[in-house]
Amino acid sequence: MKLLLLLLLSLVLVSCAKRVTRDEAVATAYRYTQVTWLPENRHVRHGPDSQGIVVHTPDTSVAEHGDKRGWWKPGVWAKGMPYQWGGFDTPESFLEKIAAGKKAGDIGNAAKRKLGDEGTSTESCGIDCSGFVSRCWNLRRPYSTREMHEICDRLESWTDLQPGDILLNDKHVVLFVEWLVPGKEMVGYEAGPFPVWRVSACGLFTHKLKSQGYAPWRYRGIRDKS
């Protein structure tokens, strides 16, 4: 009975999400790397918002607060969407919020992980790692790294990875794009934190991912073609 209920739940979860092709997932990821915007001083925050949630935007001055992975600077055109803890923006909604004066991003840290959703500031904009993958899969809401296994199947082999699949551990998720060296070196997309707090393409090594607890997974709603 328990197994049947779990199966029914997984079917409901997938049916509630739109289908997506592999090409669509990768194209969406690419769009996040191409967002171009002009930061201003009003987009910076290092301290609590009006609700008391501490925010650190990933501008270059975040180095003064102990993190060297800040990358954007007021008055200098920026490319790519900043990481925001709990963020779920599209490129369009991000630009709208920037125009309205929202803060540009909010880095993750141990304090944020402890707070969970309560650490998300509604006065910031951007996207986090799981929100990013959820958008790439055209999901209606963000699925956390703790939830993604509910709508995915674990792959038997790393070499089974195809575009739009993911590498997942309990803290982070990366969207797989292609192999550079089959089984050993790959290209992916992720929403920070490395090398900076931003959505970007990345080169990754399988042995390093394995040592960090990552495993390959496939979203049940992904399709090769529409």
Query: Would you give per-residue pLDDT tens digits along the chain (226 residues)?
Result: 544 444 444 444 444 456 999 999 999 999 999 999 999 999 999 999 999 999 999 999 999 999 999 999 999 999 999 999 999 999 999 999 999 999 999 999 999 999 999 999 999 999 999 999 999 999 999 999 999 999 999 999 999 999 999 999 989 999 999 999 999 999 999 999 999 999 999 999 999 999 999 999 999 999 998 6
Range of the domain at 121: 32-133
Quick check: 105 and 97 in contact, CB under 8 A? no
Distances (CA, A) of 28 to 31, 38, 59, 136, 179: 5, 22, 24, 5, 19
Would residue 100 count as lying in a domain? yes
| pTM score above 0.95 | no
Rg (CA), the chain: 18
Would residue 138 count as lying in a domain? no
Would residue 20 count as lying in a domain? no
Would residue 166 count as lying in a domain? no
Tally of structural domains, the chain: 1
Token pair for residue 165?
Answer: 């699949």
Would residue 216 count as lying in a domain? no
